[in-house]
Structure 1
Amino acid sequence: MKRLLLLAVLACVSWSSLPQTSSQTQEDTLKTSASEIIPIAEDTLQQYGNFKKTIQLSKKNKEFKTLGEAYIGLAQWHEDHTVLDSSIIYLKKAISLYEKQEMTKELAETYLLLVTNYSGTAEYDKGSETVFKALALYEKLGDQQGVAQCYTKICDLLYYSDSYAEGAEYCKKAIAIQEKNGYEEDLALSYRRLAENQLFLGDLDESLANMNQAINLYKKIGETGPPILACYNGRGNIYKYMERYEEAIEDYNRCYEGAKAIGLERYMMPPTANIGHVYLLQGKYAEALPYNLRAIEIMKRIGNSKNLWENYMHVSNIYSELGDYKNALEYHELYEQGHSEYLNTIIARKDSELQVKYETAQKDLAILDKEAKIAQQRKTQWLYIGIAGLLAVILFGMYFTLKNIRKKRKALVVLNSELDAKNRQNELLLKEIHHRVKNNLEMVKSLIALQSAKLEDGASKEAMLASQNRVQSMGIIHQKLYQGENLGSIEMKDYFINLGEGVLDTFNAEEKVKIECAMDDLNLDVDTAVPIGLIVNELLTNALKYAFPEGAKGQINISLIKEDDDLLLKVTDNGIGKTEGSKPKGTGFGTQLIQLLTQQLNGTVSEDYNNGTAVFFNFKNFKTA
């Protein structure tokens, strides 16, 4: 809006003050200076028309400064009306003009405006490239305020790339410059960005203190518009993660009402979504739903898609909790589309960062070792010098070595602390992945159950039931992964117990059939546990369907032991058994699946039909944890 006012100040004569004689032609009007023709416009459509007229006249009269300001004014107009793509186009026109005219200061300022729009459209790679162009120009000009503004922009981009620690360091560099030179308005923004990064680093108290510092600075300079509204929304986020929900909602409402009062819909979207999230965290699903749906509608309308996938996820979870599985599935599919690539990118980047950290640590250790050897060699050489020199060299060498060792130890402690933090972040991320996979499998299971309820054909229902049990067996594995301490292994005895309970519940056979797991605790790798779980699921399903006809009672025993290089699985029941070599009942798909999974684990299978049915497996290709 500042650029709109700047352009309006250039107006000296309004349209109503121009002579309106019949002899005045369009060509006469075009000869008028661009800075003299545009009046102050209250109506937004009139503003748009005035900017277009300014561009036309500036081009004709070669008033490049005014032309650049008009391009930026139109970009700001489109941004205020949430048409970010058009805003980017006009900013690029201004950039092209300033490059040709070698207007370095204006070019750097326009680059920063373009970074803001790229952030709004979630094009962070383009934003990063652009902000470093601006930084190079400001450094060339020696403009410390511009340099600090670039650091703050970089901090913001790193925030949306989940590089919170690096982002916080850039904000601190910006704050040091701004406090030294008294750039209070810029300083307030830097404190806000620092607080946002600290929030996701887990430094909630420091984050809250810095956000309050930003709010106080904005109040001091009399700011009442979007900058302080964004701070209220940010402080609400901090309160939310501190579980101070009432204070969070107060700040979100303060942001929403302020944005509504000045007519900026795009600033009404974040507090709307966040209020819904607070209610979701409190388990108030019916209250949360309208806020999240409203937030999605605003995001779609204004073209801000940064957090759209997150709100799809919230709405899907809410509908699932409310029992509306159709809408839950619809929004879950929308969430998957937006989140899958994002999540894969994060995992790849985290793995890469950990690898770099590990290699750096190894290099530091090698350097430390070499330095210690060099110090020792120096001491050995000095031993051949006179007795007087020998004592001095030994004392100096001891002091130098101890000082270096302490310094390196401190560096290693810091490095280990950073690696531990990264490991904890990755562990939380993996748990979240397994949790969401388990939730997805539960949703698939529910959908199969709903579809099965609509079927009348017995064979189709049995196939659906079998599929439901298979999905359940995999879902239990992911549940054990995110609930357990070891994210890479499954404790099989506990898993078989849970699997058996689930299958008995599916067939409503808890009172008729008992499942026993006579085995010691055994932890297996996920790649081994999944096929074994599917095999046991098929055997349990077959036993409950065919071994105990007409409601007969019985018992099923499961055991899994490791002997030397073999993994032995045995599943037995005391049912009616079957004739050896007879054709499998049903479609035979379960039997075929068991054979394929056995081959996958490089195993063999044998059967015994004395006193019921017993199936024995010997697996060669397996991993324990």
Structure 2
Amino acid sequence: MNKQLTIIITLFCVPIFLCAQNLVSKEIHTHLNWLDNHIKNIKDSTLIYKTAHQTIRLSKTSNNQNALIKSYNHLATYHREYSKLDSAFYYINLVKNFYKKSNQSESLATTYLELKVLHNLKVEYDKSLVFVHKALEIYEASNNQKGIAICYTHICDLLYYEHRYQESVAYCDKAIAIQEKLKVNEDLALSYRYKAANQLFSGADLKDALKNINKAINIYNNSGESGILYMAAINWRGNILKYLERYEEAIVDYQHNIDISKKLGLERYLIPSVANIGHVYLLQEKYSDALPYNLQAIELIKKTGRERNLWENYMHVSDIYSALGNYEKALEYHKLYSVHYDEYRETIIHRLESESQAKYETGKKNATIVFQDEKIAQQEKTKILYISIAALLALGLVHTISSVRTIRKKRKALQILNTELDSKNKQNELLLKEIHHRVKNNLEMVKSLIALQSAQLDDKASKEAMLASQHRVQSMGIIHQKLYQGDNLGSIEMKDYFLNLSEGILDTFNAEDKVKIECAMDNLELDVDTAVPIGLIVNELLTNALKYAFPENNHGNIKISMSKKNNNILTLHVTDNGIGKVKNEKPKGTGFGSQLINLLTQQLNGKMQENNDKGTSISFQFKLKAA
């Protein structure tokens, strides 16, 4: 009897269970269709979030893995567009792990490209490139031409941020050739947009760049696309029009995007157009009009966490304040620009060192060359903004020039009055010594002024910069002291000069008891035009050694040696037995000292080599004219 009852209940419940399962499957299918159609609509963002989570719960209940993964994908897109990037990473990584375990390589490749987009938003271009190449390997293995082309498009995009515009255009052209053949219009529009963006800075004809961006816009118009992709293309057309100096047309495009972004509630898409309107006014020298736009862009970037172009907006605001005469604000924003630009630059250099990059591109050396001009320009601007300090130095220089002119007039008068050659030579020698004496005194005054200025500063980095300036002024002052104290007014005895320079630096760092400096060289005389830059080079190397080579009061030795061969080859060695440099260690300090050494080495037609096996050993060879 019980057995019969069980059979009857089972026969009754199974259809109910199957019916329930069908209802759940239909509900999941309905939710996913709705998400597919509404994921890009900001007005539905709250409902998108709720629907995706409902679908996840239903998918888990019915053990529907495919529906679960699609729901995760939609949530990743939701967080990328409307919420937090960290949440987007969480859900897309769930998707990635599923496709890895289930060996769904094509879907995995698509997910890698989505990870590339997320890392781009966080300015992590090295990680972006890793995922693009992972996707490319999958597509190449299966000969998926559509996938290969879109990977080329993404590489084109990444090369833009490395300023390798011509190579980037070449990748876009490779993608376009495949996409036109396959007639994949949405991918094709993206490739045309990236190509036009790179042409803007590659030296290509801007009219050709405008033609290509219009091709992208026309594709979007024909397909009915009016959202984010279309807005990005409009923004880039504005950029091209801006550099064609068609400013009014550019502002129309930027304003169009602002209006659409506000209408859709897409706050982060306001950033490029707001910043670009500010840049247009900056280019037109309408500084008061430009300022509120760039300040608004900075606030939006901070609020949304999309910091990719933060450094550029800091730079524009600094330029605007400088043009308006507000140098204090200009310096404040220039410092912010320097910090964020250095972080951006290090990201690019790190990207070039990645293993995957070695397969497709060159190396760190290229990136360093790319950024040299920007770094020099940055330091030039810093010098301009420190105009108050420069003014003090200028006063000392004017006084020195005035003294030199006065003495020259006296020399000319003495040449007319004195007929005896011996008497004239003695008088000239006396006057030249007086010049060097006064120059030395003036340099001492400049050193004192810097010390007084340094005493007013609280910032440790500024104090260190001031101390470094004092050392440089001191190194030049010692040369002029040697000139007026010595018998030969045309040259400097370098061993004695190095000993005096070493004593002064050891005294400044209070390091006489822990560090010994040895001058292992014969007496050697150099003309003043050669001695000054070499003195500055040795000053920088000794300062760096005392600051970094012997931490925690370690004792050590520094050795200086110099020799000259054939009267035109000068060799300089500075070595220490300190801790040396750690491989790939981030440079300490501002880097100005290293740049100064490089510039002075170039000035003397020299080459520099550095060895860090045991301590630090730096060698120079200079090609000199006869003293």
TM-score, L = length of structure 1: 0.59
Correspondence for 1:438 among 377, 380, 401: 380
Q: Distance in 2 between matches of 1:590 and 1:107?
A: 61
Aligned to 1:604: 482
Correspondence for 1:214 among 213, 216, 224: 216
Q: Once superposed, what is the RMSD of the aligned Cα atoms?
A: 4.5
Aligned to 1:485: none
8 Å contact kept, 2:277–2:290 = yes
Aligned to 2:80: 79
Cα deviations by residue, 1:98-143 (Å, 9 ceiling, x for unpaired): 2222233322222222211111111111111111222222233433
8 Å contact kept, 2:403–2:435 = no
Match of 1:154, SS?
A: helix
Partner amino acid, structure 2, of 1:188: A
Q: Distance in 1 between matches of 2:159 and 2:436?
A: 63
Aligned to 2:203: 202
Relative contact order higher in (CA < 8 Å, ≥ 6 apart) = 2
Q: Distance in 1 between matches of 2:67 and 2:490?
A: 86
Q: Distance in 1 between matches of 2:152 and 2:339?
A: 33
Q: Distance in 1 between matches of 2:50 and 2:196?
A: 41
Match of 1:604, SS?
A: helix
Gaps of 5+ in 1: 1-27, 361-421, 449-466, 471-498, 520-552, 557-567, 609-613
Q: Distance in 1 between matches of 2:331 and 2:21?
A: 61
Aligned to 1:306: 308
Cα separation, partners in 2 of 1:595 and 1:193, compared to 1, 3 Å: closer
Cα separation, partners in 2 of 1:328 and 1:142, compared to 1, 3 Å: same
Cα separation, partners in 2 of 1:54 and 1:226, compared to 1, 3 Å: same
Aligned to 1:530: none
Gaps of 5+ in 2: 1-19, 413-428, 452-469, 493-526, 535-602, 606-627
8 Å contact kept, 1:151–1:173 = yes
Cα deviations by residue, 1:560-587 (Å, 9 ceiling, x for unpaired): xxxxxxxx9x967699989x99xx8899
Deviation of 1:149 after TM superposition, in Å, equals 1.3
8 Å contact kept, 2:209–2:240 = yes
Partner amino acid, structure 1, of 2:386: V
8 Å contact kept, 1:554–1:573 = no
Q: Distance in 1 between matches of 2:30 and 2:150?
A: 34
Cα separation, partners in 2 of 1:126 and 1:516, compared to 1, 3 Å: same
What are the within-5 Å matches in structure 2 for residues 261-276 of structure 1? 261-276=263-278
Match of 1:224, SS?
A: coil
Aligned to 1:124: 125
Q: Distance in 2 between matches of 1:121 and 1:222?
A: 30
What are the within-5 Å matches in structure 2 for residues 143-292 of structure 1? 143-203=144-204, 204-292=206-294
Q: Distance in 2 between matches of 1:574 and 1:131?
A: 66
Deviation of 1:331 after TM superposition, in Å, equals 1.8
Aligned to 1:109: 110
Q: Distance in 2 between matches of 1:99 and 1:348?
A: 27
Deviation of 1:91 after TM superposition, in Å, equals 0.7
Aligned to 2:575: none
Partner amino acid, structure 2, of 1:35: I
Partner amino acid, structure 2, of 1:435: A
Cα deviations by residue, 1:486-510 (Å, 9 ceiling, x for unpaired): xxxxxxxxxxxxx68x843xx8x99
Cα deviations by residue, 1:20-47 (Å, 9 ceiling, x for unpaired): xxxxxxxx99994461674958643332
Cα separation, partners in 2 of 1:54 and 1:288, compared to 1, 3 Å: same
Cα separation, partners in 2 of 1:231 and 1:344, compared to 1, 3 Å: same
| Residue 323 (structure 1) aligned with residue 325 (structure 2) | yes
8 Å contact kept, 1:515–1:555 = no
| Residue 140 (structure 1) aligned with residue 18 (structure 2) | no
Partner amino acid, structure 2, of 1:271: S
Q: Distance in 2 between matches of 1:604 and 1:575?
A: 9
Partner amino acid, structure 2, of 1:174: A
What are the within-5 Å matches in structure 2 for residues 366-405 of structure 1? none
Partner amino acid, structure 1, of 2:275: A
8 Å contact kept, 2:126–2:352 = no
8 Å contact kept, 2:56–2:71 = yes
Cα deviations by residue, 1:172-231 (Å, 9 ceiling, x for unpaired): 111011111111121111111111111111112322221121112222222211112111
TM-score, L = length of structure 2: 0.59
Match of 2:482, SS?
A: strand
Cα separation, partners in 2 of 1:575 and 1:309, compared to 1, 3 Å: closer
Partner amino acid, structure 2, of 1:53: Q
Deviation of 1:517 after TM superposition, in Å, equals 11
Deviation of 1:347 after TM superposition, in Å, equals 8.3
Deviation of 1:261 after TM superposition, in Å, equals 2.6
Residue correspondences, number: 425
Q: Distance in 2 between matches of 1:30 and 1:253?
A: 50
Q: Distance in 2 between matches of 1:197 and 1:601?
A: 51
Cα deviations by residue, 1:239-281 (Å, 9 ceiling, x for unpaired): 2222222222222112222322322222211011111111112
What is the percent sequence identity of the aligned residues? Answer: 40
Partner amino acid, structure 2, of 1:232: I
Q: Distance in 2 between matches of 1:587 and 1:219?
A: 67
Aligned to 1:51: 52
8 Å contact kept, 1:78–1:87 = yes
Cα separation, partners in 2 of 1:590 and 1:208, compared to 1, 3 Å: closer
